[in-house]
Structure 1
Amino acid sequence: MEFRIENMTCGGCANSVTKAIQSIDPTARIQTDPSARSVKLETVVTSLEVQEALAEAGYPAAVS
């Protein structure tokens, strides 16, 4: 699963994105790339659940 997060621009943002995803799936495998504004992950939750958690954390995401 891959998402584009326009306002993830630095390492601090990437940490916040990671924490938001881990809050709904602590076992998720997460790869953030702030320079590309993308996150790739392996998770058991749906993409909609991930998008909701990210939006709640202030990082709205689009499936890419």
Structure 2
Amino acid sequence: MELRIESMTCGGCAKSVTKAIQSVDPAARIEVEPAARTVKVKTSASSAALQQALEKAGYPAIAN
């Protein structure tokens, strides 16, 4: 799945986003593109669960 995260603007943000996703699924495969403000995730977790974790971390996400 691909998510758009408008508030992710730097490497530090990318680390926080990665950590939030891994809190839901530690085995997730994550590709973060801060410049494009997108993250691609291969996971068994639901989109809703990931979006909730990202929202809690301060990085609201929109599914693309």
TM class, shorter-chain normalised? Answer: over 0.9
SS of the aligned residue for 2:6 comes to coil
Letter in 2 for 1:3: L
| Cα shift at 1:9 | 0.1
Structure 2 length-normalised TM: 0.99
Letter in 2 for 1:38: T
Residues in 1 aligned to 2:9 and 2:3: alpha-carbon distance in whole angstroms: 14
Residues in 1 aligned to 2:21 and 2:41: alpha-carbon distance in whole angstroms: 9
Match of 1:62 in 2: 62
Structure 2: stretches of 5+ with no match in the other structure: none
Cα offsets for 1:11-62 (capped at 9, x unmatched): 0000000000000100000000000000001001000000000000000000
Letter in 1 for 2:31: Q
Letter in 2 for 1:17: V
Structure 1 length-normalised TM: 0.99
Residues in 1 aligned to 2:50 and 2:30: alpha-carbon distance in whole angstroms: 12
SS of the aligned residue for 2:7 comes to coil
Structure 1: stretches of 5+ with no match in the other structure: none
Aligned length: 64
Residues in 1 aligned to 2:5 and 2:24: alpha-carbon distance in whole angstroms: 18
Identity %: 62
